[in-house]
Structure 1
Amino acid sequence: MKRFKSSGAEIAYDVKGNGPPLLLLHGFPQSRAMWDEIAPELAEHFTIVTADLRGYGASSKPTGVAAYSFREMGRDMLELMADLGHNTFALAGHDRGARTAYRMALDASARISRLALLDIIPTHLLLSDLSKDVAKAYYHWFFLAQPAPFPETLIRHDPDHYFESCLTGWGSTALEDFAPDQLAAYRDRWRDPDTITAMCNDYRAALEIDFAMDAADMARKLDIPALVLYGADGPMAKAYDVLGTWQDRFSKVTGQAMQGGHFFPDTAPKETADALQSFFLP
Structure 2
Amino acid sequence: MLIERPDGARLAVTVTGEGPLLLLLSGLGGTASFWNGVVPDIARHHRVAVMDQRGIGASTRGTASVTIGTLAEDAAAVALALGGPVALCGHSTGAAIVLTMAAGRLCPVSRLVLSAGWLRPDPYLRALFEMRLAVLERAGFTAYELAGRFLAYPPEVLVTEGKFPTPDWLPAEREAAERTRWSERIGALLGFDGMDLPQHVAVPTLVLGTPDDVIVPHHHQREMAAAIPGAALQPLPDGGHFYPQTRSAAFLDRLLPFLAA
Specify the alignment match of 1:263 in structure 2: 242
1:230 shift after superposition:
0.6
Q: Secondary structure at the match of 2:62?
A: coil
Moved more, 52-61 or 166-175: 166-175
Specify the alignment match of 1:147 in structure 2: none
Specify the alignment match of 1:162 in structure 2: 144
Specify the alignment match of 1:107 in structure 2: 104
Task: Say whether the 8 Å CA contact 2:73–2:106 is kept in structure 1.
Answer: no
Q: Which amino acid aligns with 2:180?
A: T
Specify the alignment match of 2:199 in structure 1: 220
RMSD: 2.9
| 1:111-134 superposed Cα distances (whole Å, 9 cap, x missing partner) | 1110111112212xx34xx25xx5
CA distance in 2, matches of 1:16, 1:82: 17
Specify the alignment match of 1:6 in structure 2: 5
Q: Does structure 1 residue 140 correspond to structure 2 residue 129?
A: yes
Matches within 5 A, 1:1-282: 2-8=1-7, 9-29=9-29, 31-63=31-63, 67-84=65-82, 86-108=83-105, 111-123=108-120, 126-127=121-122, 130-131=123-124, 134=125, 139-141=128-130, 143-144=132-133, 153-154=137-138, 157=140, 159-170=141-152, 172-173=154-155, 174-176=157-159, 193-208=176-191, 210-211=192-193, 214=194, 217=196, 220-235=199-214, 240=219, 242-248=221-227, 250-258=228-236, 259-282=238-261
Structure 1 residues 70 and 142: alpha-carbon distance in aligned structure 2, compared to 1, 3 A threshold: farther
CA distance in 1, matches of 2:31, 2:226: 29
1:226 shift after superposition:
0.8
CA distance in 2, matches of 1:165, 1:193: 18
Q: Secondary structure at the match of 2:14?
A: strand
Larger relative contact order (CA 8 Å, sep ≥ 6):
1
Q: Secondary structure at the match of 1:11?
A: strand
Q: Which amino acid aligns with 1:163?
A: E
Structure 1 residues 73 and 30: alpha-carbon distance in aligned structure 2, compared to 1, 3 A threshold: closer
CA distance in 2, matches of 1:78, 1:110: 6
Per the normalisation by structure 2, the TM-score is 0.82
Q: Per residue, is there more helix in 1 or in 2? A: 1
Q: Secondary structure at the match of 2:209?
A: strand
Q: Which amino acid aligns with 1:107?
A: G
Task: Say whether the 8 Å CA contact 1:109–1:224 is kept in structure 2.
Answer: no
Structure 1 residues 237 and 69: alpha-carbon distance in aligned structure 2, compared to 1, 3 A threshold: closer
Q: Which amino acid aligns with 2:138?
A: L
Task: Say whether the 8 Å CA contact 2:27–2:94 is kept in structure 1.
Answer: yes
CA distance in 2, matches of 1:233, 1:109: 33
1:109 shift after superposition:
6.2
Q: Which amino acid aligns with 2:116?
A: D
1:240 shift after superposition:
1.6
Percent of aligned positions that are identical: 24
Structure 1 residues 257 and 33: alpha-carbon distance in aligned structure 2, compared to 1, 3 A threshold: same
Structure 1 residues 103 and 121: alpha-carbon distance in aligned structure 2, compared to 1, 3 A threshold: same
| 1:117-172 superposed Cα distances (whole Å, 9 cap, x missing partner) | 1112212xx34xx25xx555xx224653xxxxx765435x4x34321321221463
Q: Secondary structure at the match of 1:270?
A: helix
Per the normalisation by structure 1, the TM-score is 0.77
